[in-house]
């Protein structure tokens, strides 16, 4: 774009706006002239390469479609890839999958940019000082074997994200062959506390939630439309819920400290003082007035006045919610990420689950999950406590060899872990990586992985919709780079170093997968068909659906040990709560280097390519801050600086910074954009599960004196659009919820 400054410099004359417009006019006319009818086609400039031998189904210009599985998050949506001239162009959902039923979220759509990303690692790299030297795969494997010689099993550790299917089996066998039990399954954002609370109250870690059957959904910070567990699946349930059961449109109430995408869709959004979600749940049980025995005893002190004082929710709203829940049954109460991120997160989640019990929702809108018939393939679920354990081990110098399977703990560990330094204490660090991210940069050996569109695999999602499904992952196109390898192939090569005899029949992971699937042909529903037919059908479907038995949910109400702490006193030095927001685009930041992710506006703030500090306008007024001010957010652990975005959808005493940006590696699209809230996160842990309590960090805000214009997709900064997106024209105590219904 030509701006007036550059034209001024170009001409060497002073130039005012009128003249600038004249130039634009003339230039435009010239461009219009040149565009009319005279453009010529380019003869003989480009090369058109034909096939040497073409497959029958290949017609240039006509796409073919293959089914596979999305690997952008762990929800396990099935995808259909559009492939033209041997290149994958577009992904959509596979309609046959009960999880996503033909739909795919924005994150899934962006997966092609993971595949074609120019910053992918292309050669095995061995550390030589600060540089990586490209070596051959044979040399890399030999080096691993050499480094493992004489190292005891307990001195070897392996860190991975969620893993399931045959890769989990192979990974387990490899660790077994090394005599190591140190497989750490780590996800930076995982519902681990909710799983534990579910286990306590329902007898299962992850029941099936039936939003579609509920008439009221009360969600405590569960962003089920954006980031929680299986958002594409829940979004479809939500559509059915909104259409209504028996002609009654479902009512969604969201109680949380910072508005999520789901909160923005709610009929009623309640700003809750951070950490008091459980108190609100008990207050609602009290207001319902239907409980007896232990439960009544537990909630008797949680009267409206006290609950309102503790949580910041108006007493009339508590009444309205209780009335609505009584009026409409079944309902569904969800405990999400915002409720579990505290020291008493488990207690919060337990109190919320108790509300479900009291309302009699268990068995109606909370159903028993189907169990996976092959337990060895069932997913290993990631927890943040696993990283803590690994970090402690590394700090104590327990591990000599560390394998890291495509996770990025240097980026997602709180700064106080000092993970980077502790990682250096392991003598030999191998990173299986797609990119040179923060963690891969610390490794001694980086082994480049195939993208999910070049690799084979099977996946069993944690959250299963209707039936058990084993998702097939198959290459949608040939390798882009000759020297990347699939994780399965690497594991097979490594396990062959130990157990050559056992695995000699398999040339590659494809062979292993095929024979493993065909071995269980009958159990997988292929009895009677021949091997090739069954295998080809399986690949073509992209999913193996199995009927799995549903267990029963426990209906036992046990409130022993349920004790909620009073809200924390305001800390003079660090008066604000930091809420590290998980956004539907960025999640834990592993996809930040996909430009579509960076450029698609955040659903609530519409900010692109940068981080922000979300702050309530009232609080900003008190501190004398306006939108675009660069502020320094300081915690006990450290500080980061970012632009302020004023947003009424947040509890006034809280500020929020999204997770996922602030990379200092990971390629051109991620490095240097925004800030990383993990850098200022205090290492505080949930008391019952040992999970990282991500919402416990207290911060203070200081102005730096700098100001920027916030790049966003809405009205001018500080303009009249502010606040209009949320229906806040009538103050909450004036709204009669029953009339709205």
Partner 1 sequence: MHRYLCFPAILAGFLMAVGCYAATDQQPTLTTEDDLGPQVQQPIEFPHYRHAGNRNTVDLTNSDPTKGGMEINCQYCHTYARRSLTAGIPPLQKCVGCHQNIPSVRDKPRIVELFKYWDAKKAIPWKKVHDLPDFVRFNHERHIKRFIEQQGRPVQEVCGYCHGQVKEMTTARRQKPITMGWCVSCHMKEHVVVVANKDGIPEGGTPLGKQAYWYTFQKPAETKNAAGELTAKGPNDCWLCHK
Nearer to partner 1, 61 or 705 (CB): 61
Rounded Cα–Cα distance for residues 115 and 449 (Å) = 11
Nearer to partner 1, 59 or 570 (CB): 59
- Quick one: how far is CA 182 from the chain centroid? 25
Please give the helix or strand (H or E) that residue 619 lies within, else none.
Answer: helix 617-623
Nearer to partner 1, 46 or 572 (CB): 46
> Which listed residue (7, 264, 415, 516) binds partner 1 by CB under 8 A?
7
35: contact with partner 1 by CB under 8 A: yes
Contacts by 130-139, CB closer than 8 A, 24 or more apart: 132/436, 132/446, 137/483, 137/485, 137/493
Nearer to partner 1, 8 or 632 (CB): 8
> Which listed residue (5, 6, 9, 29) binds partner 1 by CB under 8 A?
29
Q: How near is the Cβ of 11 to partner 1 at its closest, in Å?
A: 5
- Tell me how many residues contact partner 1 (CB under 8 A): 39
Q: How near is the Cβ of 668 to partner 1 at its closest, in Å?
A: 24
Nearer to partner 1, 89 or 239 (CB): 89
Rounded Cα–Cα distance for residues 627 and 486 (Å) = 46
Nearer to partner 1, 7 or 518 (CB): 7
Stretch that binds partner 1, among 24-32, 400-408, 437-445, 589-597 (CB under 8 A): 24-32
Name, in order, each residue with C-beta under 8 angstroms of 660's C-beta and a sequence gap of 6 or more: 583, 585, 586, 587, 588, 589, 591, 592
Stretch that binds partner 1, among 29-37, 74-82, 213-221, 690-698 (CB under 8 A): 29-37
Rounded Cα–Cα distance for residues 661 and 656 (Å) = 13
Stretch that binds partner 1, among 11-19, 355-363, 386-394, 461-469 (CB under 8 A): 11-19
23: contact with partner 1 by CB under 8 A: yes
Cα angle value 541/542/546 (rounded, 5°): 80
36: contact with partner 1 by CB under 8 A: yes
Give the side-chain half-sphere CA count within 13 A for 37: 1
Q: How near is the Cβ of 212 to partner 1 at its closest, in Å?
A: 37
Q: How near is the Cβ of 478 to partner 1 at its closest, in Å?
A: 15
Give the side-chain half-sphere CA count within 13 A for 354: 33
44: contact with partner 1 by CB under 8 A: yes
Tally Cβ neighbours within 10 Å of residue 580: 23
Q: Could you tell me whether strands 183-185 and 445-448 are parallel, antiparallel, or unpaired per DSSP bridges?
A: unpaired
Rounded Cα–Cα distance for residues 206 and 267 (Å) = 26
Rounded Cα–Cα distance for residues 252 and 268 (Å) = 7
34: contact with partner 1 by CB under 8 A: yes
Nearer to partner 1, 48 or 730 (CB): 48
Q: How near is the Cβ of 40 to partner 1 at its closest, in Å?
A: 7
Q: How near is the Cβ of 480 to partner 1 at its closest, in Å?
A: 18
Rounded Cα–Cα distance for residues 162 and 151 (Å) = 26
* Strand intervals (E) in 272-389: 331-335, 366-367
> Which listed residue (45, 131, 504, 739) binds partner 1 by CB under 8 A?
45
- Residues in region 46-105 near partner 1 by CB under 8 A: 46-54, 59-62
Q: Exposed, middle or buried, 210 (CB in 10 Å: 0-12/13-18/19+)?
A: middle
31: contact with partner 1 by CB under 8 A: yes
11: contact with partner 1 by CB under 8 A: yes
Binding site for partner 1 (CB under 8 A): 7, 11, 13, 15, 19, 22-23, 25-27, 29-31, 33-54, 59-62
């Amino acid at each position: 774009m030509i701006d007036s400054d550059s034209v001024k410099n170009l001409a060497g004359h002073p130039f005012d706006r009128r003249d600038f417009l004249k130039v634009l006019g003339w230039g435009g006319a010239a461009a219009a002239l040149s565009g009319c009818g005279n453009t010529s086609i380019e003869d003989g400039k480009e090369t058109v390469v034909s096939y040497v031998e073409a497959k029958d189904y290949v017609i240039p210009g006509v796409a073919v479609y293959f089914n596979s599985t999305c690997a952008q998050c762990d929800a396990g949506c099935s995808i259909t890839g559009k492939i033209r001239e041997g290149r994958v162009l577009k992904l959509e959902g596979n309609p046959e999958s009960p999880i996503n039923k033909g739909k795919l979220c924005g994150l899934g759509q962006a997966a092609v940019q993971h595949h074609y990303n120019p910053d992918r690692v292309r050669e095995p790299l061995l550390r030589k000082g600060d540089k990586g030297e490209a070596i051959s795969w044979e040399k890399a494997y030999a080096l691993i074997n050499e480094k493992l010689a004489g190292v005891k099993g307990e001195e070897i550790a392996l860190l991975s994200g969620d893993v399931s299917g045959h890769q989990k089996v192979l990974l387990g066998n490899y660790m077994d062959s090394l005599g190591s039990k140190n497989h750490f399954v780590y996800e930076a954002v995982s519902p681990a506390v909710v799983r534990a609370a579910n286990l306590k109250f329902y007898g299962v870690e992850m029941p099936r939630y039936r939003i579609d059957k509920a008439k009221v959904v009360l969600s405590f910070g569960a962003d089920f439309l954006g980031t929680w567990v299986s958002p594409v699946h829940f979004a479809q349930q939500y559509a059915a819920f909104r259409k209504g059961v028996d002609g009654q449109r479902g009512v969604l109430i969201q109680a949380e400290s910072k508005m999520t995408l789901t909160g923005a869709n709610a009929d009623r959004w309640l700003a809750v003082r951070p950490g008091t979600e459980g108190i609100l749940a008990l207050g609602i049980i009290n207001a319902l007035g239907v409980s007896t025995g232990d439960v009544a005893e537990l909630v008797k002190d949680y009267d409206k006045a006290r609950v309102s004082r503790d949580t910041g929710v108006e007493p009339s709203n508590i009444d309205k919610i209780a009335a609505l829940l009584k009026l409409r049954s079944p309902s569904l109460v969800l405990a999400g990420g915002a409720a579990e991120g505290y020291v008493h997160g488990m207690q919060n989640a337990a109190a919320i689950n108790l509300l479900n019990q009291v309302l009699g929702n268990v068995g109606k809108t909370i159903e028993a999950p189907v169990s996976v018939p092959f337990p060895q393939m069932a997913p290993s679920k990631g927890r943040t406590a696993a990283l803590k354990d690994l970090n402690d081990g590394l700090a104590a110098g327990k591990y000599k060899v560390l394998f890291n399977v495509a996770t990025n703990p240097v980026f997602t560990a709180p700064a106080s872990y000092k993970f980077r330094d502790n990682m250096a204490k392991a003598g030999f660090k191998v990173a299986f990586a797609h990119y040179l991210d923060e963690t891969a940069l610390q490794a001694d050996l980086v082994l480049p992985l195939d993208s999910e569109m070049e690799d084979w695999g099977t996946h069993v999602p944690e959250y299963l919709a209707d039936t058990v499904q084993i998702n097939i992952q198959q290459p949608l196109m040939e390798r882009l780079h000759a020297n990347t390898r699939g994780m399965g192939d690497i594991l097979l090569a490594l396990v062959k170093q130990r157990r050559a005899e056992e695995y000699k029949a398999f040339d590659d992971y494809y062979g292993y997968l095929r024979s493993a699937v065909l071995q269980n042909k009958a159990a997988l529903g292929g009895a009677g068909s021949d091997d090739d037919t069954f295998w080809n059908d399986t690949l073509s479907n992209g999913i193996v659906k199995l009927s799995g038995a549903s267990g029963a949910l426990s209906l036992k109400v046990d409130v022993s040990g349920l004790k909620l702490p009073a809200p924390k006193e305001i800390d003079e030095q660090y008066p604000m709560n930091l809420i590290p927001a998980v956004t539907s685009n960025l999640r834990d930041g592993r996809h930040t280097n996909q430009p579509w992710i960076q450029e698609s506006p955040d659903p609530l703030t519409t900010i692109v390519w940068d981080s922000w500090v979300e702050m309530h306008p009232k609080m900003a007024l008190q501190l004398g801050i306006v939108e675009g001010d660069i502020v320094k957010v300081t915690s006990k652990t450290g500080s980061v600086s970012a632009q302020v975005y004023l947003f009424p959808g947040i509890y006034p005493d809280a500020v929020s910074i999204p997770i996922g940006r602030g990379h200092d590696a990971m390629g051109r699209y991620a490095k240097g954009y925004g800030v990383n809230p993990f850098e200022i996160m205090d290492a505080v842990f949930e008391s019952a599960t040992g999970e990282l309590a991500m919402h416990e960090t207290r911060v203070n805000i200081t102005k730096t004196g700098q100001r920027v214009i916030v790049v966003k997709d809405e009205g001018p900064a500080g303009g009249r659009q502010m606040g209009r997106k949320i229906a806040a024209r009538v103050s909450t105590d004036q709204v009669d919820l029953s009339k709205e219904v």
